[in-house]
């Protein structure tokens, strides 16, 4: 007569018939990670309160206590191998959260302080004749849009043409030299671009020439290598089979590039261009030198100084009036506006990437 035994549950140890210890161990409950994290946060809060720690030490202490707690509990219940895996996961997650903490702090601070003047007057008035409270950043917003737009008009054709040459035509010393100088330009400080634009316009138009177009030239110096690099990588991933199929039909190379290569890579190229604009729209040092600053609205980029949001925020914070609170409120609101512009540009880049991405089955 045969007897049947029920299989062991996952939390039970199995003793083999030969007397050796089984490798099957228990498992932690599903709420273990959140429970240990909550306990670590409470304990860290108590220690921080007793010792007078700030937010950053509190977050770091919470991460350390969480890693130690979850790995120790796992070693007791699940064994050394699973405990090592949980400890590594805890360290990686804690590192990610620690890296995210400054970003969250900056965003919360800018939003909380920038909302003080986030009203219609801020977006419709300039600082002409304003002393103390009131005024706005209309002139700086328009200056930012004008200089960034001119920089885009100059950078995109040059950068895209350079990328096409490097991928489709360049194979000699000239291509290697262009690649080298593009890499060098990618790492130059932004103030160097501003000094270059100022020196160029001083040499051509005379000393002291400061206007919006000079600032656009400085921004284009920073944008071109980004556009070249992003466009070059997008053109490289276009399958060679598409080119060869077009060549087999007798299509000239220039038409293959225009009708086959560029439409295939348009999603990545557009995303790279949008991210390049987001990269330079918040630059301060080159615009401070090449564009200058003014409290009046100047929509002519070829004549006179032109205000931009980054420079406007800098001057409002560095040289506040009396009382200083209105100037600081305008500085924070300008920073919030700039952050929103960058966020919108990143969302546009993602939308373009999804809209023009090749669809399966076409």
Q: Each residue of 75-111: pLDDT tens digit?
A: 888 888 888 888 888 888 888 878 888 888 888 899 9
Look at residue 276 and tell me if it is in a domain.
yes
Residue 349 in domain: yes
Amino acid 357: pLDDT: 64
pLDDT, average across residues 214-232: 93
Please report whether residue 3 resides in a domain.
Answer: no
Characterise 360 by phi-psi region: left (phi > 0), alpha (psi -120 to 50), beta (else). Answer: beta
Q: What is the pLDDT of residues 282-301, one digit of tens each?
A: 888 999 999 988 888 899 99
How far is residue 260's CA from residue 164's CA, in Å, rounded to a whole number?
A: 13
Of 115, 149, 182, the one marking the end of a domain is 115
Higher pLDDT, 9 or 308: 308
Q: Are 169 and 57 members of one domain?
A: no
- Residue numbers of the domain that contains 339: 122-356
Q: Both 295 and 218 in a single domain?
A: yes
Mean pLDDT for 112-121 is: 88
Which residues does 202 contact at the CB level (< 8 Å), separation at least 6?
A: 208, 209
pLDDT of residue 17: 46
Give yes or no for residue 8 having a pLDDT over 70. Answer: no
| Same-domain pairing of 94 and 217 | no
Same domain, 155 and 186: yes
Based on the fold, state whether residues 110 and 146 are members of the same structural domain.
no
The answer on pLDDT for 153 being more than 70 is: yes
Residue 240 lies in a domain: yes
Give the pLDDT confidence score for residue 148 in this predicted structure: 92
The domain tally of the chain equals 2
- Name the more confident of 104 and 161: 161
- Is 273's pLDDT higher than 70? yes
What's the whole-number mean pLDDT along residues 9-28? 51
Which of 79, 100, 115 is where one domain is finished? 115
Q: What is the mean pLDDT of residues 210-215?
A: 92
- Weakest mean pLDDT among 135-139, 252-256, 322-326, 337-341: 322-326
The answer on 319 and 181 residing in a single domain is yes
CATH code of the domain covering residue 352: 1.10.3720.10
> Model confidence over 232-265: pLDDT tens digits?
999 998 888 888 898 888 889 889 998 889 888 8
Residue 61 lies in a domain: yes
Per the confidence metrics, is the pTM higher than 0.85? no
162 has a pLDDT exceeding 90:
yes
Q: Is the per-residue pLDDT at 152 higher than 60?
A: yes
Residue 22 has a pLDDT of 43
State whether 67 and 214 are in the same domain: no
pLDDT at 358: 61
> Is the confidence at residue 361, as pLDDT, over 60?
no
User: Residue 33's pLDDT is what?
Assistant: 83
pLDDT of residue 210 exceeding 50? yes
In sequence order, the 6+-apart residues with CB closer than 8 A to the CB of 114 are 332, 333, 334, 335, 336, 337
pLDDT over threshold 50, residue 1: no
- The verdict on 293 and 173 lying in the same domain is yes
Domain boundary residue, one of 95, 115, 135:
115
Residue 129 domain-assigned?
A: yes
pLDDT higher at 301 or 8: 301
Q: In this structure, are 173 and 79 located in the same domain?
A: no
Q: What is the mean pLDDT of residues 208-236?
A: 92
Assess whether 131 and 68 both reside in one domain.
Answer: no
Q: How confident is the model at residue 135 (pLDDT cuts 50, 70, 90)?
A: confident
Residues 169 and 318 in one domain: yes
Q: Which of 220, 210, 204, 224 is nearest to 307 (CA)?
A: 210
Q: How many CB atoms lie within 10 A of CB 153?
A: 11
- Do 247 and 177 lie in one domain? The reply is yes
In a domain, 11, yes or no: no
Share of the chain above pLDDT 90, in %: 29
pLDDT value of residue 25: 63
Q: Which long-range contacts (CB under 8 A, 24 or more apart) does 151-158 make?
A: 151/216, 151/217, 151/219, 151/220, 151/223, 151/277, 151/280, 152/223, 152/273, 152/277, 154/216, 154/217, 154/220, 155/219, 155/220, 155/223, 155/224, 155/227, 155/276, 156/227, 156/273, 158/220, 158/224, 158/227
Does residue 130 lie within any of the structural domains?
yes
Residue 7 in this model has a pLDDT that exceeds 70: no
**For residues 43 and 267, what is the distance between their CA atoms, to the nearest angstrom?**
49
* H runs (alpha helix) in the chain: 32-51, 55-77, 80-114, 120-124, 138-164, 173-186, 190-205, 212-236, 240-248, 253-256, 262-280, 285-290, 309-318, 325-356
Q: What is the mean pLDDT of the chain?
A: 84
């Amino acid at each position: 007569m045969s007897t049947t035994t029920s299989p062991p549950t996952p939390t039970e140890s199995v003793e083999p018939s030969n007397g050796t210890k089984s490798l099957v161990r228990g498992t932690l409950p599903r709420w273990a990670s959140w429970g240990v994290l909550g306990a670590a946060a409470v304990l860290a809060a108590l220690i921080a309160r007793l010792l007078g720690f700030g937010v950053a030490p509190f977050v770091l202490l919470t991460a350390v206590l969480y890693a130690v707690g979850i790995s120790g509990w796992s070693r007791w219940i699940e064994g050394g191998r699973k405990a090592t895996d949980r400890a590594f996961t805890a360290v990686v997650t804690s590192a990610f959260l620690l890296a995210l903490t400054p970003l969250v702090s900056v965003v919360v601070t800018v939003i909380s302080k920038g909302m003080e003047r986030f009203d219609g007057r801020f977006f419709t008035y300039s600082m002409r004749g304003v002393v103390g409270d009131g005024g706005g950043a209309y002139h700086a917003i328009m200056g930012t849009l004008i200089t960034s737009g001119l920089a885009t008009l100059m950078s995109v054709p040059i950068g895209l043409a350079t990328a096409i040459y490097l991928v489709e035509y360049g194979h000699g010393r000239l291509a290697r030299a262009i690649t080298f100088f593009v890499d060098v330009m990618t790492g130059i400080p932004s103030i160097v671009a501003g000094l270059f634009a100022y020196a160029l316009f001083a040499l051509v138009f005379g000393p002291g020439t400061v206007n919006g177009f000079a600032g656009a030239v400085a921004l284009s110096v920073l944008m071109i290598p980004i556009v070249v690099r992003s466009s070059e990588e997008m053109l490289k991933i276009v399958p060679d089979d598409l080119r060869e199929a077009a060549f087999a039909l007798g299509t000239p190379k220039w038409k293959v590039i225009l009708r086959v290569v560029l439409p295939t890579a348009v999603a990545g190229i557009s995303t790279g261009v949008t991210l390049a604009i987001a990269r330079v729209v918040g630059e301060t040092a080159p615009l401070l030198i090449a564009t200058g600053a003014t409290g009046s609205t100047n929509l002519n980029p070829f004549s006179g100084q032109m205000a931009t949001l980054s420079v406007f925020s800098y001057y409002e914070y560095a040289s506040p009036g009396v009382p200083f609170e209105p100037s600081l409120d305008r500085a924070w609101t300008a920073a919030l506006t700039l952050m929103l512009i960058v966020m919108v540009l990143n969302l546009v880049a993602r939308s373009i990437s999804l809209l023009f991405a090749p669809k399966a089955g076409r």
